[in-house]
Structure formats: structure tokens, C-alpha cells
Amino acid sequence: MLRSARKDGGARPTPGCHRSRHAMTETILSVRDLTVAFDTRRGPLTAIDRVSFDIGRGEILGVVGESGAGKSVTGSAVIGLIDRPGRIAGGEIRLRGERIDNLSPEAMRRVRGKRIGMIFQDPLTSLDPLFRVGDQIVETLRTHTDLSAKAARTRAIDLLAEVGIPAPERRIDGYPHEFSGGMRQRVVIALALAAEPELIIADEPTTALDVSVQAQIITLLKRLCREHGTAVMLVTHDMGVIAEAADRVAVMYAGRVAEIGPVASVIAKPHHPYAVGLMGAIPTLSQEADRLSQIPGSMPRLTAIPKGCAFNPRCPKVFARCRVERPEPIPVDASRVACHLYDAAEQAA
């Protein structure tokens, strides 16, 4: 379902699932000019380069791009999991207006789990195999809330029921290896929701699952997002997942945001040549083709990011300015696009 071809040349979001109006009410996460660098013997390498975006209450922002685009590093920076030699080298991260990128490790630990939840790609490695799943949820609840042991266990059973675990009163005492991949991911989602966080970062939460289970997990995330008003940053390389789940999408390339806008607009009419290439690589059911569209070349290494627009060596519409000047985001229709093609002065020339 989530990896299905487009029927009419564009992936169609599920009707009624996109709630951009929530973004208008309250901004939960605000990222401004975020820069992440990794120190090496040859000097710092910039992995995230002045990335900015917002996520509103009850909104799902999809972050998409090829491997190496900087999606997971951005999520790790938000939740404070950038380890040495990596560091946040610039910019600000604010959670409901409170700056969190400059918090001490101890203060950030109090934010992590309570105010920001995390769903990792592989649910088996996210859970401790030596402890029952119920004990892990109860420990999270006891750490971040004032619940007693008995109340925490009751709440853990309620959470397992909420995420669709059958017979939660019995399964709460099971070990991770006794659950299927999809059920383990539901347990991880329950863990992420335990302290009722304001933001959840979901890093490739469906990649390790088969297609039918992917659909179930995405449906679950959308429902929980809507019911709890939780903001979600959904990191994935799969445009099918973005089309099904997200309200808005940020297309990343070489540590920068190439295009950001409502998911329906970006999918139906992408503007940045990289976004156009990503959408062109998705097969359609209405047209037969011997070969899919392909973006030539590969993502640049951190040691060899081109001057100007990072995409310029692979771009079919590159011109002289692209090779010397980095484009800034420009409003185009409902999106913001970092591309010189849409600069008014360039168009006038």
C-alpha cells in the first residue's frame, strides 16, 4: 500500500488526513539555521548546513531524501543525540519557544522521553531483550511521571491497548522476542507516547516492516497524532510513506532543505529539480515505461560538497550562478524552494 505506484502520475494523500490547520494554531518545534559539524583531523565537516523548519501541534512533517541527505542527523540533533566528534555548530532549536539546543546533558535528558519521544528504525534494537516490555514502559512512566508502580502498570496496559496490542493484560509480561516486528514497533510507539510528549521523532519507523504492517503503523501514527495533538517529525526515504502520512514535506539534499511545502503540492507539482527527480523515479499505473526516471550521479561526500548549490553537478537545469552562489529559499506557490530558477531577478534576465 505504502510503496504502491501512482495511479495518475502523482501519489495521492489519503483524503482528510492532512491537517495543516494545526500548524497555524501553535508551533511545537522551531528549527532555525541548524548547523551540525563533525570534527576531523582535516577540520570540521558540515553535515547539516543552515536547516530551518517548523512543526505545528498535531502536524506530521515528513523529511525525505536519499541516504546521506542529513535526515537522521537532523532528527538526532533535535533530540540531543549528536555524539562526539559531532556537535551543533550553529542555529537554534526551540520546543514551544524554549531553546533546547544549549541545554546541559542532564537537562536534555529530562526533555528526552518526557517532552520529546523517539521511534527508531529497528524496534528489536530499541527494546532491551532482557526485560519484559511492560517493565520497560513502566520504567519510562516512573522516570517521567509521578505515577506509583501499580498506576504505571495500569497505564502501560492502557498504552499497549491504545497502540493495538491484543490481550495487553497478558502481553505486557512478554519479552521483545515474543512479539512480531509489527507488534514490537507498536510497543516502541507506546514507549514514545508514555510520558505524553509534545513532539515525536520517527526515524524510518516502517523500513524494517512488510508493506501491510507499514500501512498499519502509519495509520496508527496518524490517529495518535490527531488524538493527542502531538507534533511528529517523520524521517523516511519512501515517498509513499510521505504521501500517506505527512501534512507537509521537507526534501533534503546534502544537509540542506531543497524544498518544503504541503505534501499534496510537492508531490503533484514539485519545483526543485531534485524533488522533480525523486517524484519522477516513482512508477505510475497509468503509463507504461521501459525505464524509470533516474537522477544521475550520487549524493556528494561531506568532504566534497560542491560550491554554490550542492545539487548542481547532478542538475539537468544547472547554469553558471548555480556553481558559485548558494540559493536561499524562495516562496513558490505554496512551497519554499532553494533554487535560482525561481529568483525573480534571474527570471527577468
Question: Which tens digits make up the pLDDT trace of 135-169?
Answer: 999 999 999 999 999 999 999 999 999 999 999 99
Q: String of b and e for 251-270 (b: at least 16 CB within 10 Å)? A: bbbbbbbbbbbbbbbbbbbb
Beta carbons of 70 and 255 less than 8 angstroms apart? yes
The pLDDT value given to residue 214: 82
Q: Which among 18-22, 235-239, 314-318 has the top mean pLDDT?
A: 314-318
Residue 210: pLDDT band by 50, 70, 90 thresholds?
confident
Does residue 251 form part of some domain?
A: no
Does residue 310 form part of some domain?
A: no
Q: String of b and e for 122-151 (b: at least 16 CB within 10 Å)? A: bbeebbeeeebbbbbbbbbbbebeeeeeee
| d(C-alpha 141, C-alpha 160), whole Å | 13
* Phi, psi angles (nearest 5°) of residue 134: -65, -40
Percent of the chain with pLDDT strictly greater than 90: 65
9 pLDDT more than 70: no
Q: State which amino acid sits at residue 153.
A: R
Does residue 179 form part of some domain?
A: yes
The pLDDT value given to residue 39: 95
Does residue 130 form part of some domain?
A: yes
Does residue 173 form part of some domain?
A: yes
Does residue 24 form part of some domain?
A: no
Angle at which helix 181-193 crosses helix 149-162, to 10 degrees, equals 130
42: its cell numbers? 582535516
| d(C-alpha 87, C-alpha 77), whole Å | 8
**Total structural domains in the chain?**
1
- Sign, CA dihedral 27-123-183-246, equals positive
The pLDDT value given to residue 90: 96
Does residue 154 form part of some domain?
A: yes
Q: Among 44-48, 210-214, 245-249, 343-347, which stretch is predicted with the lowest mean pLDDT?
A: 343-347
Q: pLDDT of 284-330, one tens digit each?
A: 666 666 677 788 899 999 999 999 999 999 999 999 999 999 999 99
Q: pLDDT of 253-276, one tens digit each?
A: 999 999 999 999 999 999 999 999
25 pLDDT more than 90: no
| d(C-alpha 319, C-alpha 312), whole Å | 8
**Residue 144 domain boundaries:** 116-194
Q: pLDDT of 86-100, one tens digit each?
A: 999 999 999 999 999
Reported pTM = 0.86
